[in-house]
Amino acid sequence: MPPSLPLPTGDAQSPIAPMEAKSVAELPSDPGWQFEPKWDGFRCLAFRSGGDVRLFAKSGKPLQRFFPEVAAAIAALDADEFVIDGELVISDGDHHSFEALQMRLHPAESRIRKLAREIPAHLVAFDMLVAPGGAVLTGAPLIERRAALEAFVHSIRTNPSPIVLSPMTRDRAEAERWLAGVGIGGDLDGIVAKRLDGPYQSGGRAMRKVKRIRTADCVVGGFRYGTGSALVGSLLLGLYDAAERLNHVGYTSSIAQKDKPALTQRLEAMRGEGFTGNAPGGPSRWSTERTEEYVALRPELVVEVSYDHMSGGRFRHGTTLLRWRPDKAPAQCTYEQLG
């Protein structure tokens, strides 16, 4: 992205997609890798041009409205014309709170401002795409981008700083200790591995990630009512294939009882086309007598689920609902994330 391009205004999307990671079973053992914590926050590309700041989610949608304190603090820095890749996090004592981040996605500006004052967020930075002054670094190897990022973060004199440098190690054994919860803290989401000689591949899955549990971000393509109930019993999950078809891959029924009335009302208002590839129904090892009884939905909601095994392009067993992902675009829920 040439730094001379004007920043998007209003609700325009990010001009560049963040580099992504592919899930793997274990950290790479060959030399030439850098290991970093995978934080449990909102992925964010932060753009600064003059006095203007734009924050973008992984989906490409603008975030600065929801994190005004971060945007204002970045705008107040002495450096100019830079782009940073990082993670927005909110600290809750010694841990980070994903729930506090979700609370920010609120329609009322007064509510957002109140939360920004009471529980401010900050950006954990792990890559630099454009250095202060406008030098584009996306084609440079990670080892050079990291050096530029460290120099920039260490130059910030604001206390507290709106930008915090993410730890890293090039020692696989240390990364394994982090993955076990030793040395970094207990709330990291996993470990990300990056090639030291690799450029920044916008939108590509050039990184590798190992999570403490196997998880997937899925589109909710439909739902079933509970047996003998007018309330939702399970969500039907989908992933997009290379042809951009939404295929049914399994279900999750781990929905809290207290959440079912409001969720049922929300889902019933979203009836739509549902799955465009493989859909629930037809004989299979997963079939039940209720396989074809479901309500198709517009593919707009994304959930993160944990699972134990995938076979034949589907989750072998039911999955566990971990959280809703309003920060992620449905189109990003593809089979590629599974490795």
Instruction: With a cut of 50, say whether residue 3 has pLDDT above it.
Output: no
What confidence score (pLDDT) does residue 287 get? Answer: 41
Tell me, what's the pLDDT at 337?
86
Return the domain boundaries, the chain: 39-167, 215-338
Q: Side by side, which strands form the sheet with 52-57? A: 52-57, 42-49, 82-89, 122-130, 163-165
61 carries an active-site annotation? no
- The predicted structure's pLDDT at residue 185: 58
Summarize pLDDT for 253-265 with one digit per residue, the tens: 999 999 999 999 9
Specify the range with the lowest mean pLDDT, choosing from 57-61, 66-70, 317-321: 317-321
Q: Please spell the DSSP secondary structure of 190-206, one letter per residue.
A: EEEEEETT----TT---
CB 223 within 8 A of CB 248: no
Q: Which among 22, 38, 58, 114 is annotated as catalytic?
A: 38
What pLDDT, on a 0 to 100 scale, did the predictor assign at position 101?
Answer: 92
- Which CATH class name applies to 39-167? alpha beta
**What's residue 211's pLDDT?**
82
**pLDDT score, position 283:** 39
The residue assigned the tokens 């890293």 is: 168
Q: How much is the mean pLDDT over the chain?
A: 90
pLDDT single digits (tens) 89-145 = 998 766 788 889 989 999 999 999 999 999 999 999 999 999 998 999 999 999 999
pLDDT over 80 (residue 292): no
Q: Is the pLDDT of residue 285 over 50?
A: no
Asked if residue 27 has pLDDT above 90, the reply is: yes
- Given this model, what pLDDT does residue 288 score? 45
Q: Give me the mean pLDDT over the 209-228 stretch.
A: 92
Predicted confidence band of residue 184 (pLDDT cuts 50, 70, 90): confident
Note the pLDDT of residue 284. Answer: 38
**Distances in whole angstroms, Cα of residue 145 to Cα of each of 31, 64, 149, 165, 257:** 19, 24, 6, 13, 48
More confident residue, 169 or 185: 169
Q: What is the CATH number of domain 215-338?
A: 2.40.50.140
What local confidence, expressed as pLDDT, does residue 339 receive?
62
Whether the predicted pLDDT of 165 surpasses 70: yes
Match 């924050």 to its residue by tokens: 55
pLDDT band for 188, please (50, 70, 90 cuts).
confident
Q: pLDDT-derived band of residue 338, with 50, 70 and 90 as boundaries? A: confident
What single string gives the DSSP state of each residue in 236-275?
EEEEE-TT--EEEEEEE----GGGHHHHHHHHHTTB----
pTM value is 0.76
